[in-house]
Amino acid sequence: MNQESNVKGGEFIIKETQANQVFIPEEFSEEQTMMAQATTEFVDREVWPNKHRFEKKDYAFTLSLLKQTGELGLLGIYVPEQYGGLGMGFNTSMLVCDRISGATGSLSTAYGAHTGIGILPILLYGNEEQKLKYLPKLASGEWIGAYCLTEPGAGSDANSGKTKAVPSSDGKSFSITGQKMWISNAGYADLFIVFARIEEDKNITGFIVEKGTAGISMGEEEDKMGIKASSTRQVFFNDVVVPAENLLGERNGGFKIAMNALNVGRIKLAAACLDANRRIITESVNYANNRHQFNQPIAQFGAIKQKLARMAMKHWISETATYRAGQDIENQIASFEAQGLSPQQAKLKGVEEYAIECAILKVHASEAASYIADEGVQIFGGMGYSADAKMESAYRDVRIARIYEGTNEINRMLTVGMMLKKAMKGELNLIGPAMSVGKELMEIPSFDLPDADTLFAEEKDSLKNLKKAFLMVAGKAVEKFGMHVEEEQEILMAAADMLMEIYHLESGILRAEKIMAMGKDASLQTDMLRLFWLEAVEKIASAGREAIYSFAEGDEQTVMLMGLKRFTKIRHNINVKDVRRRVADKLIAENKYCF
Amino acid sequence: MKILVCISHVPDTTSKIQFTSDGKSLDTTGIQFVINPYDEFALTRALWFKEKEGGSVTVVNVGKANTEPTLRKALAIGADDAIRIDAEPTDGFAVASELISLIATEKYDLVIMGRESIDYNGTQVPGMVAALLDWPFVNACVGMEVEGGVATCIREIDGGKETVKASLPMIVAGQKGLVEEKDLRIPNMRGIMTARTKPLKVIPSISNEVATEAIKFERPAGKQACKMVSSDDVKALVDLLHNEAKAI
């Protein structure tokens, strides 16, 4: 059921998507499911029981696990077969990333750094010789990769790096000098993707640097809050001579490589949060079922049920949106290949097309995972604060997810920024819909009620209105500030919050609808979707107000606030307490995450 | 050596068991099925034979189409081909009856299976197959080697172990010890991908032997609250055991 999506990147905000246009996790094939189960089996057997070793900074253990994942074929899942990989599709690589990442952030980070930002720059930008030389070693795990972009003075502003690459007089090599920091996998990497500036180029350039090259030295392992056994070091390059054939992509093209690798890194990070969520929810339910207070399991208390239900709801929505976008990317890649693009170009452009969604997912999933880990600790009570229970490390490990692959602030601004740029380039028709929303604001509101016979009529009607709320706020902000809106970070972040909720809400509605279309029971999924809907509407209303108060005044403000009120008005008779209890009761009965 | 491994398709050990509303069958909603763990020990040992002594490993299951993913997992782990005998595995005798004609026609040298399946724990099939074929049979096997057509098997007996010899062809019912848990294989991704290209033959049911019929399933009654009796009140204890529990 790999339906071709006709909704392009970012278009969800102006188009209505149908359930048959999205992929849902219930559609994974038997082969994909078997791959996921095999990965889980590996984690359950080799990783989960050894969780304490990561907290003791056992880097060698992380490395040995990476090597084992290589033997199982998990490192080369997305690498084409001619380069020693398995050549599976994008969403399958997401699924494996999801399942390998759940037990500890240490392995998740090491795996993500290797398969994402370690392998991808070569896969996406390498020439044939580079791919033949390096990809088989990286796909098998014989070599481990690391990605050296960040510098002491260049974090979020990645293109400002000071590392230099000086061309030799004969043009046959470059000499790289500079300092890179927060380099994941540095301690055991055999290959570094290094970004450096050649002469006075506007942008940085990517290079492939092998470990043994003279002039590379390392700082000590960083003492981190979490992901303790993921190696993170500074890497110093002192006159490191790299042959010219190791220049990756084009001179001056490194920033593009860095950004495109990060697009994939972002959506993969969303996937990497998912199995951690499942494990935390399962541990929490199990604990709540076994911990007795006041003569009953604490799972029977409403206060705990409320937490369990919200944890499940947040995870379910994250998972839904992540695999929807993953399949959209896979379909887009296939479509570009059908149009005659090389597989390499198709992979690159396929992800680039959905860069907005990648950023949205990264932020939303990392914040959902943070919430889930936090409540996991809370359900465990005092025990949750003890390093003997698994919650404590989960809580610390998850914190990095909001920071790496671009901070959530940068990503929030990127989502809206990229959308506006697409509109300016004429790739996304935001102006028309934004103008019609503006016109609608001046008219008498429609009193038509949605057709009650349609499935999710109220939710879908509300979704349409929420999109209008975003278009109203973003449209007016652009009208007011023009391209200078990029300097209005507070407004962009508020608009991003609206956008993220809309994408996730739509994904949730479509998943529940599609499950039903498959003839399956989706009553509890509908419950979770409705819980999310109510929360999303509140968030969108609040973010909308934040933006409006930040730039509109007088009559304009009044009109916009009234518009916002109109667009966030919903009709429902949902008893949130009962709905949450239903979801929680199912978790409690199954004693695990089960949706 | 031509080896057949019989595989049962069973609910995962952590499954929450529910029955359908008529009480006549297992409610499979939300249940994940796996290779019967005892059979997995057998399969792993068979793969060792193949890798060390050469030969082939075929896996077979008596079941309907829904069991095929379990067979494909066995293929992903390393079996060469799979056979599904298209029949409901109603009871041990039905399964054994289906298996014997395949075993006799295909002339396997060795048939290994788990000593029981973890769903109904009947422990019947291996013995029945051996009896129906009149082949040597080693039950509860915890170790085996084959040399020159003769198998030396170690089997677990009450309070100890027994080493026996038997000539191939033979039936072995294995358990942990045949290989250890750490030896069980996780299918690698390439194995999973090649599984779809390996043969999975479906053969029709040849036997209508049904010896028993399931009328009703029910769950054990819930545990009753524990009654505490004061340690010096023996009379009350006797009274409870005699009149209430009717144990004495």
Preceding omega of B169 cis (within 30 degrees of 0): yes
Residue A392 makes CB contacts below 8 A (sequence gap 6+) with A377, A384, A385, A386
Flag if B188 and A72 touch (Cβ within 8 Å): yes
Three-class SS of residue B114? strand
**Minimal CA separation from A441 to chain B, in Å:** 48
For chain A, percent of residues with pLDDT exceeding 70: 99
Flag if A71 and B188 touch (Cβ within 8 Å): yes
Q: Is residue A583 part of a domain?
A: yes
Q: What is the CA radius of gyration of chain A?
A: 24
Q: Is residue A369 part of a domain?
A: no
Tokens of A157: 């502003």
Q: What angle do CA A200, A206, A210 make, to 5 degrees?
A: 125
In B, what residues contact A, Cβ < 8 A? 14, 16, 30, 69, 72-73, 76, 186-190, 192-193, 195-196
User: Which of A254, A279, A294 is at the close of a domain?
Assistant: A254
**Minimal CA separation from A73 to chain B, in Å:** 5
Q: Using a CB-CB distance cutoff of 8 angstroms, which residues of chain B are in contact with residue A76?
A: 189
Which residue on chain A is closest to B181 by alpha carbon? A45
Give the H/E segment covering residue A391.
Answer: helix A390-398
Residue B71 makes CB contacts below 8 A (sequence gap 6+) with B7, B59, B61, B82, B84, B200
Tokens of B90: 């109603």
Whether chain B has a CB inside 8 Å of the CB on A34: the answer is yes
**Minimal CA separation from B82 to chain A, in Å:** 16
Q: Quick one: pLDDT at residue A155?
A: 85
Which residue on chain A is closest to B74 by alpha carbon? A34
Please, are residues B84 and B67 in contact by the beta-carbon 8 Å criterion? yes
Q: Using a CB-CB distance cutoff of 8 angstroms, which residues of chain A are in contact with residue B186?
A: 38, 41-42, 45, 72
Please, are residues A18 and A460 in contact by the beta-carbon 8 Å criterion? no
Q: Using a CB-CB distance cutoff of 8 angstroms, which residues of chain A are in contact with residue B196?
A: 31
| β partners of residue A300 | none
Measure the CA–CA gap between A530 and A534, rounded to whole angstroms.
6
Which residue on chain A is closest to B16 by alpha carbon? A590
Residue written as token pair 């050649």: A198
The dihedrals phi and psi of A77, each to the nearest 5 degrees, come to -55, -35
Helix ranges (DSSP H) in chain B: 37-53, 68-77, 92-106, 125-133, 189-195, 234-239
CA dist list (Å): A319 to A272, A355, A470, B110: 10, 18, 23, 46
Q: Is residue A480 part of a domain?
A: yes
| β partners of residue A402 | none
Please, are residues A30 and B67 in contact by the beta-carbon 8 Å criterion? no
Flag if A73 and B196 touch (Cβ within 8 Å): no
CA dist list (Å): A231 to A110, A142, A423, A467, B38: 8, 17, 41, 43, 40
Q: Using a CB-CB distance cutoff of 8 angstroms, which residues of chain A are in contact with residue B73?
A: 34
Q: Using a CB-CB distance cutoff of 8 angstroms, which residues of chain B are in contact with residue A43?
A: none
User: pLDDT (tens digit, 9 = 90+) per residue, B220-232?
Assistant: 887 777 888 888 9
Please, are residues A335 and A9 in contact by the beta-carbon 8 Å criterion? no
Tokens of A32: 């994909």
Q: Using a CB-CB distance cutoff of 8 angstroms, which residues of chain B are in contact with residue A591?
A: 16
Please, are residues A258 and A117 in contact by the beta-carbon 8 Å criterion? no
Mutation target among A26, A29, A30 for the B interface, most CBs of B within 10 A: A30
pLDDT at B213 over 90: no
Which residue on chain B is closest to A32 by alpha carbon? B192
Pairing of strands A164-167, A296-297: unpaired
Please, are residues B6 and B60 in contact by the beta-carbon 8 Å criterion? yes
Q: Using a CB-CB distance cutoff of 8 angstroms, which residues of chain A are in contact with residue B187?
A: 34, 38
Residues of A recognised as catalytic: 405
Give the count of Cβ contacts less than 8 A between chain A and B.
47
Q: Quick one: pLDDT at residue B23?
A: 86
**Minimal CA separation from A42 to chain B, in Å:** 7
Measure the CA–CA gap between A351 and A117, rounded to whole angstroms.
14
Please, are residues B170 and B138 in contact by the beta-carbon 8 Å criterion? yes
User: Which of A193, A222, A254 is at the close of a domain?
Assistant: A254
Measure the CA–CA gap between A338 and A84, rounded to whole angstroms.
24
Q: Please list, residue by residue across A22-44, b when 16 or more beta carbons sit within 10 angstroms of its beta carbon and e when fewer do.
A: bbbbebbeebbebbbbbbbbbbe
CATH number for position A473: 1.20.140.10
Q: Quick one: pLDDT at residue A451?
A: 78
CATH number for position A205: 2.40.110.10
CB < 8 Å from B in window 92-121 of A = 96
Catalogue all structural domains in chain B, each as residue range(s) with its CATH number. Answer: 2-221 (3.40.50.620)
Measure the CA–CA gap between A210 and A207, rounded to whole angstroms.
10
Q: Which of A355, A468, A466 lies closest to A415, judged by CA?
A: A355
Please, are residues A158 and A178 in contact by the beta-carbon 8 Å criterion? no
Span between the terminal Cα atoms of chain A, in Å: 21
pLDDT per residue, tens digit, chain A (595 aa), is 444 557 899 999 999 999 999 999 999 999 999 999 999 999 999 999 999 999 999 999 999 999 999 999 999 999 999 999 999 999 999 999 999 999 999 999 999 999 998 999 999 999 999 999 999 999 999 999 999 999 999 888 888 999 999 999 999 999 999 999 999 999 999 999 999 999 999 999 999 999 999 999 999 999 999 999 999 999 999 999 999 999 999 999 999 998 888 899 999 999 999 999 999 999 999 999 999 999 999 999 999 999 999 999 999 999 999 999 999 999 999 999 999 999 999 999 999 999 999 999 999 999 999 999 999 999 999 999 999 999 999 999 999 999 999 999 999 999 999 999 999 898 999 989 988 998 888 888 777 777 777 899 999 999 999 999 999 999 999 999 988 999 999 999 999 999 999 999 999 999 999 999 999 999 999 999 999 999 999 999 999 999 999 999 999 999 999 999 999 999 898 999 999 999 999 999 999 999 9
Whether chain B has a CB inside 8 Å of the CB on A589: the answer is yes
A35: nearest CB among B30, B69, B189: B189
A31: nearest CB among B14, B30, B192: B192
B189: nearest CB among A41, A74, A591: A74
Query: Cα A212 to the chain's mean position, in Å?
Result: 34
Tokens of B132: 């129906």
A86: nearest CB among B73, B190, B195: B190
Q: DSSP letter at B122?
A: -
Residue written as token pair 């009120």: A565
Please, are residues A62 and A110 in contact by the beta-carbon 8 Å criterion? yes
Q: Is residue A556 part of a domain?
A: yes
User: Which of A254, A276, A309 is at the close of a domain?
Assistant: A254
**Minimal CA separation from B129 to chain A, in Å:** 31
User: pLDDT (tens digit, 9 = 90+) per residue, B116-170?
Assistant: 999 989 999 999 999 999 999 999 999 999 999 999 999 999 999 999 999 999 9
User: pLDDT (tens digit, 9 = 90+) per residue, A457-496?
Assistant: 999 999 999 999 999 999 999 999 988 999 999 999 999 9
Three-class SS of residue B224? coil
Measure the CA–CA gap between A10 and A421, rounded to whole angstroms.
11
Q: Quick one: pLDDT at residue B7?
A: 97
Measure the CA–CA gap between B166 and B110, rounded to whole angstroms.
11
Q: Quick one: pLDDT at residue A5?
A: 53
Tokens of A25: 């996790």
Flag if B16 and A590 touch (Cβ within 8 Å): yes
Instruction: Give me the sign of the Cα torsion angle A131, A134, A140, A146.
Output: negative
Q: Is residue A78 part of a domain?
A: no
Q: Is residue A413 part of a domain?
A: no
Q: Which residue range is the domain that position A467 belongs to? A: 427-590
Total domain count for chain A?
Answer: 2
Measure the CA–CA gap between A234 and A181, rounded to whole angstroms.
4
Whether chain B has a CB inside 8 Å of the CB on A591: the answer is yes
Which residue on chain A is closest to B193 by alpha carbon? A31
Three-class SS of residue A175? strand
Residue B220 makes CB contacts below 8 A (sequence gap 6+) with none
B189: nearest CB among A33, A45, A73: A73
Q: Is residue A290 part of a domain?
A: no
Tokens of A449: 């009620």
Flag if B190 and A73 touch (Cβ within 8 Å): yes
Tally of residues, chain A: 595
Measure the CA–CA gap between B51 and B147, rounded to whole angstroms.
15
CA dist list (Å): A178 to A193, A194, A234, A255: 13, 10, 11, 17
Can you tell me the ipTM of this complex? Answer: 0.89
User: pLDDT (tens digit, 9 = 90+) per residue, B17-66?
Assistant: 888 888 888 888 888 899 999 999 999 999 999 999 999 999 999 999 99
Q: Is residue A367 part of a domain?
A: no
A34: nearest CB among B14, B30, B192: B192
Q: Using a CB-CB distance cutoff of 8 angstroms, which residues of chain A are in contact with residue B76?
A: 34, 38
Q: Using a CB-CB distance cutoff of 8 angstroms, which residues of chain B are in contact with residue A30?
A: 69, 72
Q: Quick one: pLDDT at residue A1?
A: 40
